[in-house]
Structure 1
Amino acid sequence: MDTSFPFAEWFRSSSPYINAHRGRTFVILVEGQALEARRRESLIQDVTLLHILGVRVVLVFGIRPQVDQALARAGHQPPVSDIPRVVDDATMHIIEREAMHMRLGLEAQLSLGLPNTPMYGADITAVSGNIVMARPFGIRDGIDYLHEGEVRRVRAEAITSLLDQRHIVVLPPIGYSSTGEVFDVSASAIALHAATALKADKLILIGDSSGFTDPSSGLLRQLTPADAERFMAQSDALPGELRRHLGVACEAARQGVARTHLISWRDHDALLGELFTRDGVGTMITRDRYEQLRDAELRDVGGLLALLKPLEEQGVLVARSRERLEHDMGDYLVIERDGMIIGCAALHVDHGTDMAELACVVVHGSYRGGERGDVLLQAIEQRARRQGIRELYALTTHTAHWFFERGFETVPVERLPEARRQRYNPTRNSRVLIKPL
């Protein structure tokens, strides 16, 4: 009888992230649509879970749809309703009321702990206050925006002190001036300023969209700021909220936030799925490459052994010992994805000849079907050309057609360099393939 539990494997795979996130500061922006009554509960429970797992949480919330609905009920239409909007006295009164109502509701739900679990009623404190300092948006193009404001600064020292005391910090889309005025402020601007002022480890933007979707390749899991800005320039039809979130993510990266995640409230598992799985469920904007091709280092030996072992057991690859890998480490390139080695290839040069062996081209089973094999091959070919290599050869028993499609041709064993020919194992009967460079 199978007594395994599906959650156990998930728990094992998520444990490195649980450990990595503990003690880290996450600024989480939740747009107003995600906080409608029927959606709010599960999201706030997940925020509570992050707090219980040791994440330092700053929760920023938006109220745009709630304010729009309240304005419609009141029959009041501001002169300019786009972002930024003209905020007259009547509009500001509604914004203050909706912000207070939402803040109280969030604090009440956070006070529950985790319902229907042993953590129900856990002592979780949510704290807000005059933390966001603002200034008036002023008069632009002849339009006085009245009570509309923009962030002047976020009191990072106050937030840090509250986080040190194990509080969840809640920031409404409201700012305060040094003259005692209250302003309507963009929630996304507050999230950006809070993340950069705190040097947050992550900025998480929860909106309508899961991230940026390319018409030809679907949802893009990872972008650099340069990638995102290029896509924004080329995509006129991007929804306004998504364009705003991408802009915030790019600016956050420039100001030192390592990773910004764009996820959708439409997926009620998105927050945990993004943070506790290797590939996530949304788009991540990274200051540095989340996945990178680089020279192998001695610290990669364990990762390489784990990557190669399944293929060695199947007889696709010749087994390599730890000692051999350590000795040949300078020959290897690896693809690293969030700390995991998911691909490798080696260039073994036959000294005294203008030939070299392309060996050990491997991509992890979960990441095949993309172009990582081609990336590895191109990098190896570039390295070979720099070293004056004129012919690249490979030995294979299973993947000859992959090499054929990339310009390799079958040749007799006698074409191998003398030293390599002496090590040829006839019992494997490997095909010898050569490609001129």
Structure 2
Amino acid sequence: MNTSFSFVDWFRHSSPYINAHRGRTFVVLVEGEAMAAGRGESLIQDLALLHTLGVKLVVAFGIRHQVHSVLEAEGISPVRHQGRWVADETIMARVERVAAEQRLWLEARLSLGLPNTPLHGIELTTVSGNLVMAKPLGVRDGVDFQRSGEVRRVRSGAVRALLEQHSLVLLPPLGFSSTGEVFDLDAAEVAQQVAVALKADKLILLGESDGLRDDSGRLLRQLSPAEARPLLDDASIGEERARHLGAACEAASHGVARTHLLSWRDADALLGELFTRDGVGTMITQHRYEQLRAAGVEDIGGLLELLDPLEKRGMLVPRSRERLEHEIDDYLVIERDGMVIGCAALHRFDDANVGELACVAVHPDYRSGARGERLLAEIERQARRQGIDRLFALTTHTAHWFLEHGFVPSALDELPPLRRDAYNHARKSKVMSKAL
């Protein structure tokens, strides 16, 4: 029963994301290791669900693991340079064969519609083809890469037309040239270049790692490209971490709104990242996922929802919608992906040249990230800019927090006359003040 209620609660909270993702373009990379480890079936089910919910999907797939296995079984050792192998005719024959086999397997699974299967009743049209044009890597450091190539351009118009026809576009790590040649490509580069060419809303890279971590092992939820690039220094050229992180940074720097680093080992990673507020992996974006900003009238509903539980517990004085609308210019909010998760207000008393720090609140799920401190710092900065030289606050539950942040207990008669006259003696709030 608890599991059922948990699912229903999650489903209710996922509805904004279902609406937000409908009609959006996602490019998803699935590495060959995921297929080899038996994760292909469940990933395909998740991709089919996204398609059903109206997401326009381009799926790029890797085959590096499978090609390595074939070469090893046949006793072939490829020459490697700068993180890539030299795709001579012998190796390229295996690459083409494995790519065709993997594409056919994926197309077959995406066509599965038997009763009692997750794809029952879903008709998916899957299209592949010469949608990525390539050029040879050429000779580098004296090494001729032969049939190893890089993306020259993406036939973005053709891809968009297929997506508009509700097709799922499937892309192998191969590129085609105007001379009729086929080149071996890096699957991460294919995904990145396609995402940029389409101006995709998301690039999702499914690899071994569940994201990026700091020195203490804590998962980094969000980074800008500038913050993420130094982490490339710790990755060896050619390894998955370097390829995925490089692709994510390039995509985010060239117009892709959000790029996500997820682990295919986590069966819930793809849907968990897309349909929960905090996600499960690392997101790289130029846009701030969480921002501190001035409040507007459009935030009234979010403020009421945030403040209501605290007012019911007696921690805050009840504020009506009308009062919030009247005082909205005094408020700051912290917004996280469309949800107000924190707020604070600065009420100025010109006659006494002091300001009241009021209505400091942070959502219970987000109280471990120093957001109260961020709100206080911004209130203090604005107060100084307005020429206010002292802040005061009234509190019944959090006097210790104010003490920890430089406030000291004060007497009631130190309040500005207007605020002193409005003091609610029944609440017996403590008066705290801080010189700026």
* TM-score between the two structures when normalised by the length of structure 2: 0.97
Matching residue's letter, 1:56? K
Counterpart in the other structure of 2:98: 98
Matching residue's letter, 1:383? Q
Alpha-carbon distance in 1 for matches of 2:136, 2:8 = 53
Alpha-carbon distance in 2 for matches of 1:174, 1:117 = 31
1:389 offset after TM fit, Å?
0.8
Counterpart in the other structure of 1:41: 41
Moved more, 82-91 or 342-351: 82-91
Alpha-carbon distance in 2 for matches of 1:56, 1:47 = 10
- Mapping of 1:42-191 within 5 angstroms? 42-80=42-80, 83-113=83-113, 116=116, 119-191=119-191
- Mapping of 1:216-365 within 5 angstroms? 216=216, 218-233=218-233, 235=234, 240-365=239-364
Matching residue's letter, 2:347? H
1:250 offset after TM fit, Å?
1.3
Q: CA contact under 8 A between 2:222 and 2:284: conserved in structure 1?
A: yes
Counterpart in the other structure of 1:27: 27
1:245 offset after TM fit, Å?
1.4
Q: CA contact under 8 A between 1:300 and 1:341: conserved in structure 2?
A: yes
Q: CA contact under 8 A between 2:78 and 2:85: conserved in structure 1?
A: yes
CA deviation digits over 1:387-423, x for unaligned, max 9? Answer: 0111111100000111111110001111111111001
Moved more, 113-122 or 224-233: 113-122
Alpha-carbon distance in 2 for matches of 1:364, 1:50 = 30
Alpha-carbon distance in 2 for matches of 1:114, 1:362 = 52
Moved more, 235-244 or 277-286: 235-244
Q: Are the structure 2 counterparts of residues 290 and 114 from structure 1 closer, same or farther at C-alpha, using a change threshold of 3 Å?
A: farther
CA deviation digits over 1:11-50, x for unaligned, max 9? Answer: 1011111111111100001111111152111111101110
1:83 offset after TM fit, Å?
2.5
Alpha-carbon distance in 1 for matches of 2:358, 2:121 = 58
Alignment RMSD, CA only? 1.7
Q: CA contact under 8 A between 2:45 and 2:118: conserved in structure 1?
A: no
What 5-or-longer segments of structure 2 have no aligned partner?
Answer: none
1:82 offset after TM fit, Å?
5.8
Aligned residue for 2:204, secondary structure, equals strand
Aligned residue for 1:262, secondary structure, equals strand
Q: Does residue 1:417 correspond to 2:413, yes or no?
A: no
Alpha-carbon distance in 2 for matches of 1:292, 1:397 = 28
Alpha-carbon distance in 1 for matches of 2:123, 2:228 = 41
Counterpart in the other structure of 1:435: 434
Counterpart in the other structure of 1:394: 393
Q: CA contact under 8 A between 1:134 and 1:150: conserved in structure 2?
A: yes
Matching residue's letter, 1:164? E
Aligned residue for 2:80, secondary structure, equals coil
Counterpart in the other structure of 1:8: 8
Counterpart in the other structure of 1:406: 405
Q: CA contact under 8 A between 2:409 and 2:433: conserved in structure 1?
A: yes
Matching residue's letter, 2:39? R
Q: CA contact under 8 A between 1:113 and 1:124: conserved in structure 2?
A: no
1:217 offset after TM fit, Å?
6.0
1:299 offset after TM fit, Å?
0.4
What 5-or-longer segments of structure 1 have no aligned partner?
Answer: none
1:244 offset after TM fit, Å?
2.0
1:237 offset after TM fit, Å?
7.6
Alpha-carbon distance in 2 for matches of 1:375, 1:289 = 15
Q: Are the structure 2 counterparts of residues 429 and 226 from structure 1 closer, same or farther at C-alpha, using a change threshold of 3 Å?
A: same
1:107 offset after TM fit, Å?
0.4
1:215 offset after TM fit, Å?
2.1
Runs of 4+ in 1 over 4 A off after TM superposition: 1-4, 236-239
Alpha-carbon distance in 1 for matches of 2:158, 2:236 = 40
1:227 offset after TM fit, Å?
1.1
Alpha-carbon distance in 2 for matches of 1:219, 1:409 = 37
* TM-score between the two structures when normalised by the length of structure 1: 0.97
Alpha-carbon distance in 1 for matches of 2:115, 2:185 = 33
Aligned residue for 2:85, secondary structure, equals coil
CA deviation digits over 1:211-253, x for unaligned, max 9? Answer: 11112360011111111123434x4689931222122111111
Matching residue's letter, 1:390? D
Q: Are the structure 2 counterparts of residues 118 and 68 from structure 1 closer, same or farther at C-alpha, using a change threshold of 3 Å?
A: closer
Q: CA contact under 8 A between 1:114 and 1:122: conserved in structure 2?
A: no
Counterpart in the other structure of 1:196: 196
Q: CA contact under 8 A between 2:48 and 2:119: conserved in structure 1?
A: no
Matching residue's letter, 2:70? A
1:4 offset after TM fit, Å?
6.5
Alpha-carbon distance in 2 for matches of 1:142, 1:43 = 41
Q: CA contact under 8 A between 2:82 and 2:238: conserved in structure 1?
A: no
Aligned residue for 1:414, secondary structure, equals helix
Alpha-carbon distance in 2 for matches of 1:317, 1:106 = 56
Aligned residue for 2:38, secondary structure, equals helix
Q: CA contact under 8 A between 1:295 and 1:332: conserved in structure 2?
A: yes
Alpha-carbon distance in 1 for matches of 2:16, 2:277 = 10
Aligned residue for 1:328, secondary structure, equals helix
Matching residue's letter, 1:424? Y
Aligned residue for 1:428, secondary structure, equals coil
Q: CA contact under 8 A between 2:237 and 2:243: conserved in structure 1?
A: no
Q: Are the structure 2 counterparts of residues 4 and 110 from structure 1 closer, same or farther at C-alpha, using a change threshold of 3 Å?
A: closer
1:370 offset after TM fit, Å?
1.4
Q: CA contact under 8 A between 1:92 and 1:184: conserved in structure 2?
A: yes
Matching residue's letter, 1:165? Q
Alpha-carbon distance in 2 for matches of 1:92, 1:372 = 54
1:6 offset after TM fit, Å?
2.6
